[in-house]
């Protein structure tokens, strides 16, 4: 794992260029995608590259990290809806090649089928990640086993509070989600994490100073050979 300190704009530019180059050299690549505000600037750059005929997503496959439990795909707060609105509807990707975990899964065993699906498509070439203020990645909250595959996760009070900004009020935020596990994420060939926004400063400071530990899920990335953490330099001042 390495850490790069750049401006928010330079982070979005560099990550989108890595993805654009991957699609150019490997049109059938498998992308691991994230929701939240962090990847939006990157998605806008990818849409622009598509509109300028620089790239085509026709043969690309994508897997999203997570989905709220018990929320229909058509619900406007679902992560499927978010992906359709912010990326898939604006590019030429074949929707049947875009996968988002099913929010109506009943057991962890059923959830882990997602990992077999990823494997059957050749594994994730590039995994995009955001960061929770408590150091979570996807919905792997502090304490999640490093061996976890896709599973049902209970959200912490902090995450529910953080994500309330996307809902009308905190009571509307689902308390559970289905998420790729830490092992599922570590299986990706390349990992790019975006840490922008002041709320990420504490988790980044811990990542820099602490050893790999289960209470800081993002710290597992220290064990990945091809992971880059992009930190907005202004958040550490
Ligand atoms: C949620 C998602 C994470 C995301 C995080 C940060 O909890 N499950 O995958 O990384 O929010 O969101 P944002 O990018 O909006 O700060």
Residue (of 91, 71, 99, 86) closest to 23 by Cα position? 91
How high is the pLDDT of residue 22?
98
CA distance linking residue 26 with residue 118, whole number of Å = 17
Q: Is 107 exposed, middle or buried (0-12, 13-18, 19+ CB in 10 A)?
A: exposed
Q: Whose CA is nearest to atom 4 of ligand 1?
A: 130
CA distance linking residue 232 with residue 157, whole number of Å = 26
How high is the pLDDT of residue 237?
75
CA distance linking residue 53 with residue 64, whole number of Å = 25
Gap from CA of 122 to ligand 1 centroid (Å): 26
Return the minimum-mean-pLDDT range out of 67-76, 85-94, 218-227: 67-76
Catalytic positions:
66, 134, 136, 141
pLDDT single digits (tens) 116-132: 999 999 999 999 999 99
Q: What is the pTM of this model?
A: 0.97
How high is the pLDDT of residue 62?
98
What φ, ψ does residue 33 adopt, rounded to 5°?
-115, 160
pLDDT single digits (tens) 171-225: 999 999 999 999 999 999 999 999 999 999 999 999 999 999 999 999 999 999 9
Question: Ligand 1: does its nearest atom lie under 6 Å from the Cβ of 65?
Answer: yes
Question: Ligand 1: does its nearest atom lie under 6 Å from the Cβ of 179?
Answer: no
What is the rounded average pLDDT for all residues in the chain? 97
Structure tokens at 207: 């990542």
Question: Ligand 1: does its nearest atom lie under 6 Å from the Cβ of 135?
Answer: no
Helices (H) and strands (E) in the chain, counts: 8, 10
Q: How much is the average pLDDT of 6-20?
A: 98
CA distance linking residue 233 with residue 224, whole number of Å = 22
């Amino acid at each position: 794992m390495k850490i790069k300190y750049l401006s928010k704009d330079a982070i979005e530019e560099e990550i989108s260029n890595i993805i654009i180059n991957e699609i150019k050299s490997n049109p059938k690549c498998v992308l691991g995608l994230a929701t939240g505000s962090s990847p939006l600037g990157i998605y806008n750059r990818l849409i622009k590259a598509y509109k300028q005929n620089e790239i085509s997503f026709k043969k690309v496959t994508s897997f999203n990290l997570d989905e709220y439990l018990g929320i229909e795909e058509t619900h406007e707060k679902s992560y499927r809806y978010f992906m359709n609105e912010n990326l898939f509807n604006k590019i030429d990707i074949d929707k049947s090649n875009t996968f988002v975990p099913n929010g109506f899964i009943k057991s962890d065993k059923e959830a882990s089928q997602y990992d077999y699906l990823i494997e059957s498509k050749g594994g994730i070439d590039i995994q995009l990640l955001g960061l929770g203020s408590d150091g979570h990645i996807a919905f792997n909250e502090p304490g999640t086993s490093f061996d976890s595959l896709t599973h049902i996760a209970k959200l912490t009070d902090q995450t529910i509070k953080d994500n309330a900004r996307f809902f009308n009020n905190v009571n509307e935020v689902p308390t559970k989600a289905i998420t790729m596990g830490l092992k599922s994420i570590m299986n990706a060939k390349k990992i790019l994490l975006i840490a922008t926004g002041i709320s990420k400063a504490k988790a980044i400071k811990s990542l820099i100073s602490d050893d790999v530990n289960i209470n800081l899920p993002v710290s597992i990335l220290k064990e990945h050979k091809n992971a880059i953490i992009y930190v907005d330099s202004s958040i550490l001042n």
